[in-house]
């Protein structure tokens, strides 16, 4: 039996050192609510239930990283978005606060300890961090571009990049300040920072949009937290091969990639600079077989494990309707094949 715990495996990856295997974890959010029998509304509004789901999930799967993941609407909601909370699906946007972009000048900066569900998330983070000591606890909150998209709407904001770039930069400055303020409180709760920037994918935007409207604010965030001796991970869903070098250049300590992105290219670009996290396809957790899951885990580890600086994970959040047997198989086989002593 290994003498290492999750913290040891993860610390080694960030130091470019080795334990006896590659660290691994599935990104489990609303899947945990379904497994424990809670409605999505309960999971997304009750901090004790959110925390309970993450803690019990850790006890079942024993991942090397515990992810406190709720939804990706909290920051925009605190800024003024209106949401609806169905029992059987993730919350949905009812009204965008910036349908009229003139509203931006009227907005107050949300207080993470008072506004919207930001206090709910902080309370859950504190409870999970206090309960789990052997593995690091990571938060999943959203970065400035995702906040901006969620406040304005994707189609409107993409049109704004051509029609009113000054407005986009004003909004990005607001969103970056909000992301920083919320991140500071999450870090103070003893939880690591991972910023989800799903809309920054080249599946939605062009590389020039990333370079002009997003990269400067990502770099600003990284520097903000470096001054506080805190590293941040950027998670970008979809296809991001054309902006991998740009993401590395922001200085982020980790880059979490989805399955459409080239693991080979990311490892090459990030070597010695950022830890690479990913990128087992999430659809395998729903429609795959054990053999397919094992094959993809082998693919990732054979590409990325030998030089350290890699953490095996699902490419994105495991779907709520995932098969329990496949989640368990991911965890078990990752630990077995992840041994550095494998043939």
State the Cα–Cα distance between residues 271 and 261, nearest whole angstrom.
Answer: 16
Q: What is the CB neighbour count within 10 angstroms for residue 129?
A: 20
Partnered with residue 343 across adjacent β-strands are none
262 DSSP assignment: -
Mark residue 175 as left, alpha or beta (left: phi above 0; alpha: psi -120 to 50; beta: remaining): alpha
Residue 250's contacts (CB-CB under 8 Å, 6 or more residues apart) are: 215, 218, 219, 221, 222, 234
State the Cα–Cα distance between residues 338 and 254, nearest whole angstrom.
Answer: 19
Q: What is the CB neighbour count within 10 angstroms for residue 39?
A: 17
> Which of 208-230 are b and which e, b meaning 16 or more Cβ less than 10 Å from the residue's Cβ?
ebbeebbbbbbebbbebbeeeeb
The answer to whether residues 255 and 288 touch, using CB atoms and an 8 Å cutoff, is: no
115 DSSP assignment: S
For 313-322, the pLDDT digits (tens) are 999 999 999 9
State the Cα–Cα distance between residues 205 and 215, nearest whole angstrom.
Answer: 13
Q: What is the mean pLDDT of residues 36-48?
A: 97
pLDDT, averaged across the chain: 97
Under DSSP, is residue 311 helix (H, G, I), strand (E, B) or coil? strand
Q: Which domains does the chain have, with CATH numbers?
A: 6-337 (3.20.20.210)
For 81-132, the pLDDT digits (tens) are 999 999 999 999 999 999 999 999 999 999 999 999 999 999 999 999 999 9
State the Cα–Cα distance between residues 253 and 136, nearest whole angstrom.
Answer: 15
For 296-308, the pLDDT digits (tens) are 999 999 999 998 9
Partnered with residue 280 across adjacent β-strands are 314
Q: What is the pLDDT of residue 299?
A: 98
State the Cα–Cα distance between residues 60 and 55, nearest whole angstrom.
Answer: 9
State the Cα–Cα distance between residues 79 and 87, nearest whole angstrom.
Answer: 24
For 50-93, the pLDDT digits (tens) are 999 999 999 999 999 999 999 999 999 999 999 999 999 999 99
In percent, the amount of the chain with pLDDT more than 70 equals 99
The answer to whether residues 104 and 171 touch, using CB atoms and an 8 Å cutoff, is: yes
Under DSSP, is residue 271 helix (H, G, I), strand (E, B) or coil? coil
Q: In this structure, what are the phi and psi dihedrals at residue 292, rounded to the nearest 5 degrees?
A: -65, -40
Q: In this structure, what are the phi and psi dihedrals at residue 277, rounded to the nearest 5 degrees?
A: -125, 130
Residue 9's contacts (CB-CB under 8 Å, 6 or more residues apart) are: 19, 21, 22, 23, 64
* Residue 1, pLDDT above cutoff 70: no
The pTM (predicted TM-score) of the whole model is 0.96
State the Cα–Cα distance between residues 134 and 237, nearest whole angstrom.
Answer: 28
14 DSSP assignment: H
The answer to whether residues 211 and 173 touch, using CB atoms and an 8 Å cutoff, is: no
The answer to whether residues 294 and 333 touch, using CB atoms and an 8 Å cutoff, is: yes
* Residue 4, pLDDT above cutoff 60: yes
* Residue 177, pLDDT above cutoff 70: yes
């Amino acid at each position: 039996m290994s003498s290492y715990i999750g913290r040891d495996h993860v610390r080694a990856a960030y130091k470019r050192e080795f334990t006896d295997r590659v660290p691994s974890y599935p990104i489990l959010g609303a899947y945990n609510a379904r497994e424990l029998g809670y409605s999505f509304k309960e999971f997304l509004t009750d901090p004790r239930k959110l925390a309970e789901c993450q803690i019990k999930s850790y006890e079942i799967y024993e991942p090397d990283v515990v992810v406190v993941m709720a939804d990706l609407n909290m920051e925009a909601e605190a800024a003024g978005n209106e949401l609806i909370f169905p029992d059987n699906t993730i919350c949905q946007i009812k009204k965008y606060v910036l349908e009229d972009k003139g509203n931006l000048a009227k907005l107050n900066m949300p207080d993470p300890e008072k506004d919207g569900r930001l206090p709910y998330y902080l309370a859950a983070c504190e409870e999970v961090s206090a309960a789990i000591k052997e593995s690091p606890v990571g938060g999943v909150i959203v970065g400035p571009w995702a906040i901006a998209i969620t406040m304005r709407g994707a189609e409107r904001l993409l049109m704004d990049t051509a029609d009113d770039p000054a407005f986009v930069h004003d909004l990005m400055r607001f969103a970056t300040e909000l992301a920083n303020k919320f991140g500071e409180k999450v870090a103070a709760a003893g939880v690591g920072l991972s910023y989800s920037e799903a809309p920054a994918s080249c599946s939605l935007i062009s590389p020039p949009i990333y370079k002009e409207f997003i990269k400067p604010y990502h770099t600003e965030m990284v520097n903000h937290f470096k001054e506080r001796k805190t590293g941040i991970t950027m998670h970008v869903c979809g296809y991001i091969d054309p902006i991998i070098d740009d993401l590395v250049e922001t200085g982020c300590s980790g880059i979490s990639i989805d399955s459409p992105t080239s693991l080979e290219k990311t490892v090459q670009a990030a070597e010695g600079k950022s830890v690479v996290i990913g990128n087992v396809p999430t659809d395998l957790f729903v429609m795959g077989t054990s053999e397919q899951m094992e094959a993809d885990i082998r693919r990732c580890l054979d590409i990325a494990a030998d030089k350290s600086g890699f953490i095996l994970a699902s490419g994105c959040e495991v779907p709520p309707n995932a098969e329990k047997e496949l989640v368990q198989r991911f965890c078990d086989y990752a630990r077995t094949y992840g041994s550095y002593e494998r043939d």
